[in-house]
Amino acid sequence: MDRPIPFALPDIGPAEIDAVVDTLRSGWLTSGPQVARFETDFAESVGGGVEAVATNSATAGLHLALEALGVGVGDEVILPTWTFTATAEVVRYLGAQPVLVDVDRSTLNLSLERVVEALTPRTRAIIPVHMAGLPVDLRALRNRLGDRDIAVVEDAAHAFPASYGGSSVGSCEFSDACVFSFYANKPITTGEGGMVTTVDEALSDRMRVMRLHGIDRDVFNRYTAAGLSSDYDVVAPGFKYNMPDMAAALGRVQLARSNDLHARRKAIALRYLEAFAELPLDLPDGGYTRAEHAWHLFLIRLRRDAAIDRDGLREGLSALRISSSVHFTPLHQLTYWRETLATSDSDFPVASAESPSVLSLPLFSGMTDDQVERVIAAVKRLVT
């Protein structure tokens, strides 16, 4: 019996383990020197002179970014229906209205035409999602917005490292803020964690205050600057969104390895693309010359002439001990969003048509060549 192939697996080596253990031994566990260095290292790696603000999740980062931009009651925020619920729920946290739009068939990223159609005088922000790690063309998005004062906050949960037209995701050349996830299965991980980048210092200052209770200095400074533990003020009812130092220590090692991890995922994706070229499958848009894809996920879509449907393929793979997953059931098909936004499949013809056929195959840096070939052989056998 073949051994199981997981859908994803964090790539944790001895350097990560040593870094976390050293932090445990250091006596400082919450946000401190490791977080400060992780932020500096991360900002440097995306470039553009950004500030980087570490959080305990991307969801927290999206919330902080929208809050710092002043999104609130009465505002509309446009985002693709093809995403994880976190992208939309943070809009609700602020009492604002999420406005879902359909996606482009080839990329599964939000359709710029649909964004333009969805604009109203209340539109305050747009959250493009770099689906699976393929960046949205943000320059084109900005061009479509003209000189309207609408914020762009990137959901880059899948997109590290990645770039579009030579501009790295996170450098915020065409956006107000960019939010990364370090959840356990994301391209680099801290177990749970996130990072927001921005070139706007007013935004990064506000996010640093709001991620820790609305206190105007962080704990580390407070206890080390002359021991003045009462030397702080509270300026808002903030949140508890800071990253612990164990997580940041892990993140720093992952960041240092990120190009190697990406190179391995890319090699696997290119092998899949080559092996599946003749099958009755729609394969992911690789970005080709315009983008560097992060290859967080590898989404295939079964065509009508395939010998099996998506659920059949999923079961067939499972019987061969190969895990797969679905990214994503569009938000408009999930109960809460369907009911509160009063939308239906006909409002999102592309996402509704594509959603039943999509499946994500195993793709992680620790996959062996044997595992990759087992997945390829299984998919070939099942779909033809």
Ligand X SMILES: *Cc1c(COP(=O)(O)O)cnc(C)c1O
Cβ proximity to ligand X, 83 vs 175, nearer residue: 83
**135 lines the binding site for ligand X (CB under 6 A):** no
Q: What is the CA radius of gyration of the chain?
A: 21
Per the omega criterion (within 30 degrees of 0), is the bond before 33 cis? no
Helices 245-275, 33-46: inter-axial angle, 10-degree rounding: 30
Q: Among residues 186, 240, 266, 380, which one is catalytic?
A: 186
Between CA 22 and CA 32 the distance in angstroms is 14
Report DSSP state, residue 284.
Answer: P
Residues 6+ apart with CB under 8 A from 353: none
Cβ proximity to ligand X, 351 vs 378, nearer residue: 351
**183 lines the binding site for ligand X (CB under 6 A):** yes
**246 lines the binding site for ligand X (CB under 6 A):** no
**157 lines the binding site for ligand X (CB under 6 A):** yes
**84 lines the binding site for ligand X (CB under 6 A):** yes
**66 lines the binding site for ligand X (CB under 6 A):** no
Residues 6+ apart with CB under 8 A from 147: none
Range in contact with ligand X (rule: CB under 6 A) among 21-29, 52-60, 94-102, 226-234: 52-60
Range in contact with ligand X (rule: CB under 6 A) among 19-27, 83-91, 242-250, 281-289: 83-91
Query: CA angle, corner 114, sides to 110 and 115, nearest 5?
Result: 75
Cβ proximity to ligand X, 159 vs 382, nearer residue: 159
Between CA 324 and CA 234 the distance in angstroms is 47
Near ligand X by CB under 6 A: residue from 31, 59, 175, 204: 59
Residues 6+ apart with CB under 8 A from 36: 220
Near ligand X by CB under 6 A: residue from 86, 112, 159, 351: 86
**End-to-end alpha carbon distance in the chain:** 23
Binding mask 91-130 for ligand X (x = CB under 6 A): --------------------------------------x-
Range in contact with ligand X (rule: CB under 6 A) among 42-50, 154-162, 307-315, 360-368: 154-162
Determine what percent of the chain falls in helix, strand and coil, rounding each to the nearest 5: 40, 15, 40
Binding mask 195-224 for ligand X (x = CB under 6 A): ------------------------------
Between CA 307 and CA 37 the distance in angstroms is 52
**57 lines the binding site for ligand X (CB under 6 A):** yes
Rounded to the nearest whole angstrom, what is the least distance from the CB of residue 130 to ligand X in the complex? Answer: 8
The phi-psi region of residue 165 (left if phi > 0; otherwise alpha if psi is between -120 and 50; otherwise beta) is: left
Tokens 């962080």 correspond to 218
Cβ proximity to ligand X, 186 vs 208, nearer residue: 186
Is 240 among the catalytic positions? no
Contact criterion met (CB below 8 Å) for 177 and 69 = yes
Rounded to the nearest whole angstrom, what is the least distance from the CB of residue 229 to ligand X in the complex? Answer: 31
Cβ proximity to ligand X, 294 vs 313, nearer residue: 294
Residue numbers at the binding site for ligand X (CB under 6 A): 57-59, 83-84, 86-87, 129, 155, 157-158, 181, 183, 194
